[in-house]
Amino acid sequence: MRRFLRIALTLLGLIFVSACGAGTDTSGDLSGEELTVIGMCQVGAESDWRVANSESMKAVFTEENGYRLLFDDARQKQENQITAIRKFIQQQVDYIVLMPISESGWDSVLQEAKEAGIPVVLVDRMVDVEDESLYAAHIGSNFWEEGMRAAAWMEQVFPEGDPVRIIHIQGTAGSTAQLGRTAALEEAVNSHENWELLARLDGDFTQAKTYEVMTDYLSALPEKGDIDVVYCENDNIAFGALQALEEQGYTCGRNGVNIITFDATRGALAECLNGKISLAVECNPLLGPLAAEVIQAMEAGRVPEKHHYVEEQVFAAEDLTEAVLESRKY
Ligand code: GYE
């Protein structure tokens, strides 16, 4: 309906503009577009999960499916995401899909989108805003629950009372994935007297950063450390940690340092199958179809449910099979 009005207004505008003899529109205004225009603000390409997530979005929001997708890669910077949202508002897109890098700092720009009448769909992470009406829906994972699954596995494999010495490597500070997975580990450590947090490092969800901080940490130890678990907040952190640990002479796996990871992308499942990663907790990046469903519901005039969570499972090295790895889509 809104699009129909926009088309009519744009046509009127065009008649007016050509009557005045000036035919060029430099505003980038897409309000007359017949396809549903989606302005997408992606975090970046920091991880395998993120790349799979972007691909899933691009695969559903195609012209054949009736969409024009304007995809913005913020290169891991919130200010770039905010600039992209403002540009999409100016262009009068039909919907904004936002993967917010962190939870805070969204009130004003989302208010601007609301005032422009553009619904915002959050994908993956959440925003921390006073007014829930600033976003139409959220689609993603329950990161705290993912962390609790990892803690439950630790409880099951480490004999009660034995020391469990843990290194915790966090993802991007202030992101929902970091906050949830960290909160779960903190709760678990606090409720087990024999679990000890040796160090907390910042891996920013990337392999390169983690390799660097983990190498620094391990090489500063006076002697080889007794490490039972490295709790990695995503697969790329796990890859960086594994690389650093092996280089410093540690054995990873059920009889050495147990790497726990989140995402369970193909690369991590392969390391799990070969025994170097002990546990991979799934976080599903293939959120494109669900995002399209929510947008279709709004197009049909329905109010979508506010929160949509996806089903996820865990893969332990001991029961992972080649067949599961083969069938992995991301
Ligand atoms: O775990 C990580 C990515 O927010 C779920 O961000 C996402 C996380 C994912 O970079 O790999």
Kindly write down the DSSP assignment for every residue of 240-298, as one continuous string: HHHHHHHHTT--BSTTSBEEEEEE--HHHHHHHHTTSSSEEEE-----HHHHHHHHHHH
At the topology level of CATH, where does 3-139+286-299 sit?
Answer: Rossmann fold (3.40.50)
- Give Cα separations from 13 to 8, 29, 32, 116 (angstroms): 9, 12, 10, 19
For 81-95, how does the pLDDT look when each residue is reduced to its tens digit (9 = 90+)?
A: 999 999 999 999 999
Question: Ligand 1: which residue has its CA nearest to atom 1?
Answer: 234
Return the number of other C-beta atoms located less than 10 Å from residue 168's C-beta: 21
Query: What CATH code would you report for 143-283+316-327?
Result: 3.40.50.2300
Ligand 1 binding pocket includes 177 (Cβ within 6 Å): yes
Confidence (pTM): 0.91
Q: How remote is the CA of residue 289 from the centroid of ligand 1, in Å?
A: 18
Q: Which residue has the tokens 């939870």?
A: 103
* pLDDT for position 13: 42
Contacts of 309 (CB under 8 A, 6+ apart): 140, 141, 142
Percent of the chain at pLDDT > 90 equals 89
Give span(s): CATH 3.40.50.2300, the chain: 3-139+286-299, 143-283+316-327
Q: How remote is the CA of residue 224 from the centroid of ligand 1, in Å?
A: 31
Q: Work out which ligand 1 atom sits closest to the CA atom of 49.
A: 11
For 100-114, how does the pLDDT look when each residue is reduced to its tens digit (9 = 90+)?
A: 999 999 999 999 999
Residue to mutate, 99, 202, 263, ligand 1, most ligand atoms under 8 Å from C-beta: 263
In order along the chain (330 residues), what is the average pLDDT of each group of 10 residues?
Answer: 48 42 51 91 98 98 98 98 98 98 98 98 98 98 98 96 97 98 98 97 98 98 96 98 98 98 98 98 98 98 96 95 95
Amino acid identity, position 245: L
List, in sequence order, every residue forming a beta bridge with 201; answer none if it has no partner: 169
Which of 56, 15, 13 lies closest to 31, judged by CA?
Answer: 13
* pLDDT for position 22: 37
* pLDDT for position 264: 98
